[in-house]
Amino acid sequence: MRFIKKNKEKETQASDINAKEYIKLTKNIRIFFYIVGAILLIISAVFLFIKARPHMQTKDEIINSYNISTDASYKVHLLENSVFEGEFLEEGRLYSSAITDFIRVDFKSELTLTDALNISGNYYINAVLQGYQSSNTDEKIVIYEKTYPIKEGAIDNSFINYATIAESLDIDRSTYRDYAKDIEAVLGGETEKDFYILFNGKYDVGGEEKEFSYKIDIPVSKDKFYEINKDSIVVDSGDFTEQTTIKVQPKFGSYVVFIALLLVSAGFIAFVRFFTVNMEGKELALKKLSQMMRKYGSRMICIKGIPDLSEKPVINIKSMTEMVELSDEIREAIFYVESENELPKDGKAYILSKDFVYIYDSGIQNEM
């Protein structure tokens, strides 16, 4: 019997120790924690479901690529002279008008594809003569512009991945200088002049049009020496795409935060469930009394003892809020007697007016 009694005492002690390990909270706080944990759990679960599940995505997929390069070269054919031995002068030099015969221009445009498609197209080579005057701000004010077709051509429709246009032509500067003279004779005055050869056109690539253009400037003025300017190589490249719908598996990193939040929420709920208990009995009562003091303590005066109240009528007040309102209305202080735990003794507060004693009794016994 003694052995059984000792075991029971040990079990009781162990039970008391375990009970002390729980965190004691008020019922309302525990309910609040449950609600917060449940909300976080639901939110994380919903977002995890949305983010982690595979979804269909529309994307532009490259099915072919193209590259168009357009360029030109030129050289100046010379009249027979005693200065230069060669028949032509290469590009990039300063040329003499007196010994210039004609200018040979070679245009070239190339289209390349990664995969074969139906290709067709057309192109034009025009000479453009423009007369203008410069304003006070050096802005060109165009007076006339004439276009002289030189050549045109076409690319036959073919299923290929490469197409090229190559044309060579000789430009006689004097011919276009004469055109300008005729125009100016009609206009009754001489103008400044621009003259250029324009090579432009378009490729039809699988039903899509891709344009190109290139220009060479050739002076036709009476200057004794002149320069020829041409564009840098013109390159146009890009891709042909089509929209495809694919199934995408989200990356782990895109939803790992919601997994973490789900685990934290579940752990928080488990913690509240298994490691906290409702505060009951005297502890709960003292907790409520402490809350009352935190809220109204600044309005209350601590005294050593309450005087004899038998000579005055006693009026019981329903709530501490009404007690504070009454104190403001009659301009009387609220008193309480402090117990050992620094809380109101017997959970009571008093207003001692001239004619009445007002008492608020919280119903919490807090004896010294």
Q: What is the CATH number of the domain that holds 241?
A: 2.60.40
Position 123 pLDDT exceeds 50: yes
How many Cα atoms are found within 13 Å in the side-chain-facing hemisphere of 286?
15
pLDDT on residue 368? 44
Question: Across residues 260-270, what is the average pLDDT?
Answer: 91
State the pTM of this model.
0.56
Cα-only R_g, the chain: 50
Residue 336 lies inside a defined structural domain of this protein: yes
Residues 46 and 66 in one domain: no
- Do 94 and 48 share a structural domain? no
Of residues 215 and 349, the one with the higher pLDDT is 215
Query: Does residue 199 sit in the same domain as residue 121?
Result: yes
For 310-365, write each residue's pLDDT tens digit. Answer: 788 998 988 888 888 888 898 988 888 887 777 788 778 898 888 899 988 877 66
Give yes or no: residues 309 and 344 share one domain. yes
Same domain assignment for residues 262 and 290: no
2 located within any domain: no
Residue 178 lies in a domain: yes
- What is Dmax (Cα atoms) for the chain? 145
Question: What confidence score (pLDDT) does residue 50 get?
Answer: 86
- In tens, the pLDDT along 66-89 reads 999 999 999 999 999 999 999 999
**Which one has a higher pLDDT value, 38 or 323?**
38
* 229 and 268 assigned to the same domain: no
| Percent of the chain topping pLDDT 70 | 91
CB 248 within 8 A of CB 56: yes
Say whether both 299 and 163 belong to one domain.
no
Q: Are 115 and 200 contained in the same domain?
A: yes
pLDDT at 9 over 50: no
Q: What is the pLDDT of residue 103?
A: 97
> 217 and 105 share a domain?
yes
Q: What is the mean pLDDT of the chain?
A: 86
pLDDT digits (tens, 9 = 90+) for 178-192: 999 999 999 999 999
pLDDT-based confidence at residue 116 (cuts at 50, 70, 90): very high
pLDDT(276) > 90: no
Amino acid at 23: I
* pLDDT at 51 (0 to 100): 86
Give the least confident one: 72-76, 160-164, 281-285, 337-341. 281-285
Instruction: Tell me the C-alpha distance between 293 and 304, whole Å.
Output: 17
State the pLDDT confidence band at 223, using cuts at 50, 70 and 90.
confident
For residue 1, tell me if it sits in a domain.
no
The whole domain housing 289 covers 281-361
Q: Band the pLDDT of 279: cuts 50, 70, 90.
A: low
Selection from 73-87, 240-254, 288-302, 323-337 with the highest mean pLDDT: 73-87
The residue with tokens 């036709």 is 220
Are residues 242 and 63 in contact, defined by beta-carbon separation less than 8 angstroms?
yes
73 shares its domain with 208: yes
d(CA 336, CA 333): 10
Provide the domain count of the chain.
3
CA 167 to chain centre: 49
Sign for the CA dihedral angle at 319, 320, 324, 330 comes to positive
Specify the residue for token string 């050593």: 304
- Residue 2's pLDDT band, with cuts at 50, 70 and 90, is very low
What pLDDT does residue 3 have? 39
CA distance linking residue 260 with residue 118, whole number of Å: 55
| Residue 354, in any domain of the structure | yes
Kindly indicate the confidence band of residue 280, based on its pLDDT and cuts at 50, 70 and 90. Answer: low
Does a structural domain hold residue 366? no
pLDDT at 61 (0 to 100): 87
Dihedrals phi, psi of 21, to nearest 5 degrees: -75, -15
Tell me if 70 is assigned to some domain: yes
Instruction: Look at residue 7 and tell me if it is in a domain.
Output: no
Q: Quick one: 202 and 274 in the same domain? A: no
HSE-up of 267 (CA within 13 Å, CB side)? 6
Question: Is the domain of 24 the same as that of 153?
Answer: no
